[in-house]
A and B are shown apart, each in its own frame.
Chain A
Amino acid sequence: MFRLKSKFIFLSIAVLVFTAVTSFAAKPPKVITIGTLYASSGSFATSSTSQYRGLKFWVSQVNKEGGVFVKAFNKKIPVKLVAYDDQGQTGTAGMLYNQLITRDRVNMLVADFGSVLTSVAVPLAKVHKVLLFDPTGTAAKFFTPDNQFVVLCSLPTSGQWPYALADFLIQKKIPRIAIIYSSNDFNQSQAVTLHDRLVKAGINPVYYQAVPTSTSNYSVLLHGIEATKPDAVIEFGFVPNDIAFLEGLQSSGLKFKMVFTIFPGQQLQLIQKNVGPKALYYTYTYPTPPLLKYNDVNFGPTLDSFEQAYKETGKKVDFLVVAGYNTGLIIEKTLDAAKSFDQLEFRKALAGFSGKVKTLDGEFKIDASGAQVGEMLPVAQFVPQGADGLDMHIVYPANLKTGNEIYPAP
């Protein structure tokens, strides 16, 4: 009995030592696997599939060049994308993130679109010590100093989105401001930031109301807003809210000196298709690539050459395609910089090049908790072009400015 036990202990030590030695002198993998999820149905489907296409396009581009350069092994290695469809359901998403981590043992993990579908991945990544590349999950609560396993690649956390917008409103000294927002994490955090900043500057919004995210008819709400005689109306919502708001504004015949909504700057085609270009005349928004062009790109293609190359897919470039592609670029840079092939080394590498990399999506800069602080969202305004075309001017901040705002709207 004793002998058997000691034999067993010896054997297990041997196995342990063997695995330790082999993993230390890790052989380069044949492929780098990147795991991600997308939603083919549900309310996030449009955005999620765009983001997925962008990432997929990056994979096909690097594989054309023989793979991605991995510094830890000092060679190029092909990339393989493992993607599952979570159908927009968080329960399924949790199961599939786990599948990617524990069954497929992917080397890099990329989150699905948006905060809701990213939320379930954050604790999983932390517990399994896998770095989560988060393209668009912008909820502030994901990013805490005690969690080294999440990095926000594309956008600032949603509470920071209206920084430039607040400055613009304050600088223009617009006295009467109405804020209407949909009651969800993403929109409420923006409304709260804007409200607080305005109050601090001595502007008390004349209207500040939450509406259900499912609101689809804004006619009465718009008349309620009009009753407070605002100069500027700021609407924070998701794509369906923005469509309903703009359509309601158009059909009611009400006019305000300034109107702002979030998504025309990200999903212009979809919104324009639903409300027509006239509803967007003189509307303000946060511009994002491809509407916003960064000229000082020092990593990856410029927006123009990306748009040129992307034509081969037969699809149009929208912001989420750029966000998905940009996540690929950040992964590429990470592998190019990390000294060893290890999740925490990846994180160190990211911190190392933070603030030094500029892609077609803007500056990549993260803080200690992994939240994006480099990219910021300017303020832009749509203006009529020709009979029923649209042009867009960036009106704030000054260093990005491409035109003067037309205020009040005619």
Chain B
Amino acid sequence: MNLFVYTIIAGIMYGIFFGLVGMGLNIIFGVLKMINLAHGDFIMLGSFLAYWLYGFLGINPLVAVPIVAAVFFLLGLPLYYAFVPRLIKSKDPEMLSFILFFGLSQVMEALVVFFFGNNQRSIPSTAFGSAGFTIFGQRFPIAWLITCLVALGAFGFVYWYLQHTRMGRATRAVMANRDEALVSGIDVERISALVFCMGLVLASIAGIFSFFVIGASYPSMGAELTTVSFAIIVLGSLGDPLGTILGGLIYGVAVMFMQSYFSSWAEILPYVLLIAVMLFRPEGLVGKAARSA
């Protein structure tokens, strides 16, 4: 019983973090209808930047959040203008962007190996002190709580942006229908660039806290994270940022239950969930149809 309660609470916290992991991928998809196959590598890059800030400059991961966010926002702009407009004009944007971002992920991995080597890197969870906190009689590391609060903060920001700002309303219009938004005079290009950068920023923030939830970082961790992120956003709903949170929660609780009760099969779960949802409920658990044929 104790284990059961622990598993549920751990699953919820794990899930909130994975909602953040999927969020960046989903808002980019929502606006550009492109799958950023380098998403996991942006998370990896964010974690290495945080590691560097902590290890060499002694900057606490929480303080690192605005720094990393600013770096990734500025990184996003040139990337966007170098690739995306050209891709949108090409004859098969969906497929070609998929392959292009894959190439980008290879470049990023190679660069990180070049500068940091192949070893695992960690920020120890003691970066936030060694205190724990207790919910329902279960003790958890304080780093988990901080990670969850940051993730919830990020969700709040995305919600506020989409619902309560002018740019956000325009963004929702682009998500609903790009062509109509263009016709109605919205600066689609600017919104796309902004959202692309936001997507990278969210990924990098997930990267900062990945040490405390996923464990040590290493250059080739990106591919698996991209697949898991994709499973989560398909589970929630493609192109619906807030559905991502639900997808993350389901994923988190399911993984923790698998680990507790069928540990050797835990790894297969995201893949099976992904295929099952795509085949049987392609619109996701809360969304509208996104599958063709």
Distance from B191 Cβ to chain A, minimum over Cβ atoms (Å):
36
- Contacts A217-B214, A253-B139: A240 and B120 contacting too (C-beta < 8 A)? yes
Chain B CB within 10 Å, residue with most, of A210, A215, A223, A252: A223
Cα(A356)–Cα(B263), bound, Å? 46
Q: Does B180 contact A (CB under 8 A)?
A: no
Q: Which residue of the partner chain, among B117, B218, B260, contacts A220 with CB atoms under 8 Å?
A: B260
Q: Does A99 contact B (CB under 8 A)?
A: no
Q: Does A209 contact B (CB under 8 A)?
A: yes
Q: Which residue of the partner chain, among A211, A217, A243, contacts B14 with CB atoms under 8 Å?
A: A217
Q: Does A227 contact B (CB under 8 A)?
A: yes
Distance from A211 Cβ to chain B, minimum over Cβ atoms (Å):
5
CB contacts under 8 Å to A, within B19-36, are none
Binds B, one of A22-30, A268-276, A330-338, A400-408: A268-276
A228's nearest neighbour on chain B, judged by CB, is B3
Q: Please state if B259 and A224 are interface contacts (CB–CB under 8 Å).
A: yes
Cα(A214)–Cα(B270), bound, Å? 13
- Contacts A41-B118, A223-B6: A210 and B259 contacting too (C-beta < 8 A)? no
- Contacts A211-B266, A214-B224, A275-B124: A220 and B216 contacting too (C-beta < 8 A)? no
Q: Please state if A212 and B139 are interface contacts (CB–CB under 8 Å).
A: no
Q: Please state if A209 and B264 are interface contacts (CB–CB under 8 Å).
A: yes
Q: Does A61 contact B (CB under 8 A)?
A: no
A279's nearest neighbour on chain B, judged by CB, is B124
Cα(A219)–Cα(B267), bound, Å? 15
Q: Does A204 contact B (CB under 8 A)?
A: no
Number of interface residues of A (CB under 8 A): 36
Q: Please state if B143 and A251 are interface contacts (CB–CB under 8 Å).
A: yes
B262's nearest neighbour on chain A, judged by CB, is A209
Distance from B127 Cβ to chain A, minimum over Cβ atoms (Å):
10
Q: Please state if A247 and B120 are interface contacts (CB–CB under 8 Å).
A: no
Q: Does B156 contact A (CB under 8 A)?
A: no
Q: Please state if B216 and A42 are interface contacts (CB–CB under 8 Å).
A: no
Q: Please state if A212 and B267 are interface contacts (CB–CB under 8 Å).
A: yes
Distance from B106 Cβ to chain A, minimum over Cβ atoms (Å):
11
Which residues of A lie under 8 Å from residue B11 when comparing CB positions?
A: 220
Q: Please state if B266 and A212 are interface contacts (CB–CB under 8 Å).
A: yes
Which residues of B lie under 8 Å from residue A183 when comparing CB positions?
A: 264
Cα(A224)–Cα(B263), bound, Å? 10
Q: Please state if A220 and B259 are interface contacts (CB–CB under 8 Å).
A: yes
Number of interface residues of B (CB under 8 A): 37
Cα(A46)–Cα(B184), bound, Å? 56
Cα(A58)–Cα(B263), bound, Å? 44
Q: Does B103 contact A (CB under 8 A)?
A: no
Q: Does A43 contact B (CB under 8 A)?
A: yes
Cα(A183)–Cα(B113), bound, Å? 27
Q: Does B10 contact A (CB under 8 A)?
A: yes
Q: Does A116 contact B (CB under 8 A)?
A: no
Distance from A115 Cβ to chain B, minimum over Cβ atoms (Å):
19
- Contacts A247-B125, A252-B141: A46 and B119 contacting too (C-beta < 8 A)? yes
B118's nearest neighbour on chain A, judged by CB, is A45
Chain A CB within 10 Å, residue with most, of B2, B118, B126, B140: B118
Q: Please state if B263 and A216 are interface contacts (CB–CB under 8 Å).
A: no
Distance from A342 Cβ to chain B, minimum over Cβ atoms (Å):
39
Q: Which residue of the partner chain, among A209, A224, A240, A276, contacts B3 with CB atoms under 8 Å?
A: A224
A250's nearest neighbour on chain B, judged by CB, is B125
Q: Which residue of the partner chain, among A43, A212, A247, A252, contacts B264 with CB atoms under 8 Å?
A: A212
A binding-site residues for B, Cβ under 8 Å: 40-43, 45-46, 180, 183, 209-212, 214-217, 219-221, 223-224, 227, 239-240, 243-244, 247, 250-253, 270, 273-276
A-B contact pairs, 24 of them (CB 8 A): A41-B118, A42-B220, A183-B264, A211-B264, A212-B264, A215-B266, A216-B215, A217-B14, A217-B259, A220-B6, A220-B11, A221-B260, A223-B2, A223-B10, A223-B260, A240-B216, A243-B122, A250-B125, A250-B126, A253-B139, A273-B122, A274-B124, A275-B122, A275-B124
